[in-house]
Amino acid sequence: MSGRAAEPPPDATLRRWEREQAQLKASVVEEDTEEWQKDSSFAGLERVGGVDLSYIKGDDISACASLVVLSYPALEVLYEDCRMVAVSAPYVAGFLAFREVPFLVEAVQRLQQEEPKLKPQIRSLQREGDTFPLTGTSGRVLGMVLRSYNNSSKPLYISAGHRVCLETAVRLVKSCCRYRIPEPIRQADIRSREYIRKQLCSPLEVISSEPESRKEEAEMDD
């Protein structure tokens, strides 16, 4: 298959993305706001969600957008939505959301319409693991590095979420991992790849959205 790639965005688009990112950053609440977050075992948390986009190798336009909802703490898949989409925005480091999030928002909206009772309480996110803080030049802790799986040599990088503090985010990621990758994201990735293969009736190589994942496809379960 011949390679296909989206055109680089004009400078005006990059400036708009920068403004939108700054506005979103200013609205982030890096504190816990839900009752279930206060409990050490997350009592009251029943559903977690994961999202992913997968591509055919050599084609940066045709992709499968996947949303899954898992039970918690059992981590069994309750719902999945996989659809082929046409990605028009190019990959630009630091601006991946503008390329992929619109399709994932559509998937969440379909879930709310079709199965509102299955709406995840937390999205996109292992047992025992080693952690240490990542600090900026100001001394502020920006995130944590986690060795999520005993046999894994590659760490996860975790930051605070919207209405989820960093400490809670780390505990939640630990509890959602059976392998190196948190199970909601792992299941979304597996199902998006399989959907592409079935749609094309072909064993073509399929890759995940993130650049690092493209180089480390064989390490999803390490």
Average pLDDT (119-145) is 69
| Confidence bin at 183 (pLDDT 50/70/90) | very high
pLDDT at position 213 is 44
Task: Report DSSP letters for 165-203, one per residue.
Answer: -HHHHHHHHHHT-SSSS-HHHHHHHHHHHHHHHHHHTS-
Does residue 68 register a pLDDT over 90? Answer: yes
Does residue 152 register a pLDDT over 80? Answer: no
Superfamily of structural domain 11-28+38-125+183-219: archaeoglobus fulgidus dsm 4304 superfamily (3.30.2170.10)
pLDDT at position 175 is 94
Calpha distance 96→90 (Å, rounded)? 9
Does residue 204 register a pLDDT over 60? Answer: no
Average pLDDT (1-30) is 86
Does residue 147 register a pLDDT over 90? Answer: no
pLDDT at position 140 is 82
- 157 pairs with which residues across the strands? 145
Strands 141-147 and 156-158: antiparallel
pLDDT at position 60 is 86
Does residue 216 register a pLDDT over 50? Answer: no
**Domain residue ranges of the chain, discontinuous segments joined by +:** 11-28+38-125+183-219
Does residue 206 register a pLDDT over 60? Answer: yes
